[in-house]
């Protein structure tokens, strides 16, 4: 399958995050994106204008991203030029935001079999775009520019149907797959290398106005439609099954499934589980366990 081939450009080592500097990494990914866009523009004239305006006319990833987000998120009362300016200033001045974007691009490329290229993710993944825009909103929030941060949140929710409170803290290497309907509350925290499917809620319990949303550890995988409520802790490398309703802490490397969610799998198994589900995207390895558990 060509799509498969495309997923592993040589040298393959570049697909995983390595020891070279972040700047080099950004440059390498940007070069890949331009090469992909050039190839696509040549093979598909109807898309060439789009690819030139969004990617090929830009001198850097941050400019391309600022342009694309500005045009996607603008409205008749929030002009694209204003948003472009805001995004470009923020990405230009903060290398960490750029490094996170690169890590997210790699995450999509490695974990999502349907992600045929970096440029596909950059242009088409609403989860990727919502996450990058959220990072800008979060930065504004920490700078006490809250009304602007909230206006951005609103535009992201309108345009991508992804509603992330600007105060929420999100790590890097994040894959929001499909992303429609994701809701993440004000005091939620998400670690690195986490994968979250669509319709996932990290919600509050409504009881209090303080710290009231979930804390998601590194490498966690949260299946489609899962609802995690309250200030609970989902430990490193844990998995939450699709459609689960989680109101309790989930230990590291454990799996929670069902409504209400219970933990499945024994302690020994958990400890021997060395993989990172947020990266392997194995949604269903718990099926047999679950079946066992249930029956």
Does position 148 interact with its own copies (CB under 8 A)? The reply is yes
| Segment lying near its own copies (by CB under 8 A), choices 20-28, 90-98, 99-107, 110-118 | 110-118
Q: Which of 131, 155, 107 is nearest to 276 (CA)?
A: 107
| Segment lying near its own copies (by CB under 8 A), choices 14-22, 90-98, 122-130, 268-276 | 122-130
Which residue lies nearer to its own copies by CB, 25 or 120?
Answer: 120
Question: Do the beta carbons of residue 101 and residue 122 sit within 8 Å?
Answer: no
Q: Which of 135, 65, 57 is nearest to 97 (CA)?
A: 135
Span 174-233, contacts to its own copies by CB under 8 A: 178, 180-181, 183, 185-186, 197-199, 201, 203-210, 212, 221, 223-225, 227, 229-230
Give the pair of three-digit tokens for residue 291: 């079946």
| Segment lying near its own copies (by CB under 8 A), choices 12-20, 91-99, 121-129, 267-275 | 121-129
Give the pair of three-digit tokens for residue 10: 């040589």
Span 250-269, contacts to its own copies by CB under 8 A: 257-260
What is the distance between the alpha carbons of residues 14 and 35, in angstroms, rounded to a whole number?
Answer: 15
Collapse the DSSP code of 164 into the 3-class scheme (helix H, G, I; strand E, B; otherwise coil) and give the result.
strand
Binding mask 18-57 for its own copies (x = CB under 8 A): ----------------------xx-xxxxxxxxxxxx-xx
Q: Which residue has the tokens 């439609």?
A: 225
| Segment lying near its own copies (by CB under 8 A), choices 2-10, 19-27, 92-100, 101-109 | 2-10
Which residue lies nearer to its own copies by CB, 68 or 106?
Answer: 68
> Cβ 76 to its own copies, closest distance in Å?
5
What is the distance between the alpha carbons of residues 153 and 170, in angstroms, rounded to a whole number?
Answer: 14
Span 269-288, contacts to its own copies by CB under 8 A: 280-285, 287
From 20, 95, 158, 169, residue interacting with its own copies (rule: CB under 8 A) = 158
Does position 116 interact with its own copies (CB under 8 A)? The reply is yes
What is the distance between the alpha carbons of residues 178 and 148, in angstroms, rounded to a whole number?
Answer: 26
Does position 7 interact with its own copies (CB under 8 A)? The reply is yes
> Cβ 126 to its own copies, closest distance in Å?
6
CA distances (Å), origin 140, targets 50, 61, 90, 290, 293: 30, 21, 9, 43, 46
Does position 142 interact with its own copies (CB under 8 A)? The reply is no
> Cβ 71 to its own copies, closest distance in Å?
5
Give the pair of three-digit tokens for residue 33: 């994106």
Does position 247 interact with its own copies (CB under 8 A)? The reply is yes
Q: Which residue has the tokens 């004000």?
A: 186
From 15, 99, 242, 252, residue interacting with its own copies (rule: CB under 8 A) = 242
Question: Do the beta carbons of residue 103 and residue 86 sit within 8 Å?
Answer: no
Site size with its own copies, rule: CB under 8 A: 108
Task: Please state whether beta strands 189-190 and 215-216 pair in parallel, antiparallel, or not at all (unpaired).
Answer: parallel
> Cβ 257 to its own copies, closest distance in Å?
7
Question: Do the beta carbons of residue 261 and residue 232 sit within 8 Å?
Answer: no
Span 51-80, contacts to its own copies by CB under 8 A: 51-54, 56-57, 63, 67-68, 70-72, 74-80
The total number of residues written for the chain in this structure:
295
Question: Do the beta carbons of residue 107 and residue 173 sit within 8 Å?
Answer: yes
Q: Which of 62, 153, 67 is nearest to 100 (CA)?
A: 62
């Amino acid at each position: 399958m060509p799509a498969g081939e495309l997923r592993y450009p040589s040298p393959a080592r570049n697909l995983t995050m390595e020891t070279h500097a972040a700047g080099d990494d950004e440059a390498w990914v940007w070069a890949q994106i331009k090469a992909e866009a050039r190839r696509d523009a040549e093979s598909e004239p109807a898309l060439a204008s789009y690819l030139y305006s969004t990617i090929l006319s830009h001198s850097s990833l941050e400019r391309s991203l600022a342009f694309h987000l500005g045009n996607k998120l603008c409205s008749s009362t929030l002009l694209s030029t204003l948003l472009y300016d805001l995004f470009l200033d923020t990405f230009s001045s903060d290398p960490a935001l750029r490094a996170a974007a690169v890590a997210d691009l790699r995450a999509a490329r490695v974990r999502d079999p349907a992600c045929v290229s970096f440029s596909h993710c950059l242009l088409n993944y609403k989860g990727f775009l919502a996450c990058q825009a959220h990072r800008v909103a979060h930065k504004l929030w920490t700078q006490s520019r809250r009304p602007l941060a909230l206006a951005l949140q609103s535009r992201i929710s309108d345009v991508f149907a992804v509603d992330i409170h600007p105060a929420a803290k999100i790590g890097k290497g994040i894959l929001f797959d499909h992303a429609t309907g994701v809701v993440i509350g004000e005091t939620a925290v998400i670690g690195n290398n986490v994968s979250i499917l669509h319709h996932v809620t990290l919600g509050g319990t409504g009881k209090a106005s303080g710290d009231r949303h979930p804390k998601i550890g590194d490498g966690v995988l949260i299946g489609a439609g899962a609802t995690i409520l309250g200030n609970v802790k989902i430990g490193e490398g844990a998995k939450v099954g699709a459609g689960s309703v989680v109101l309790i802490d989930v230990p590291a490397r454990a799996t929670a499934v069902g409504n209400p969610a219970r933990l499945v799998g024994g302690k020994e198994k958990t400890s021997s589980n060395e993989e990172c589900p947020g990266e392997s995207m194995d949604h269903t390895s718990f099926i047999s366990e679950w079946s066992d558990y249930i029956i």
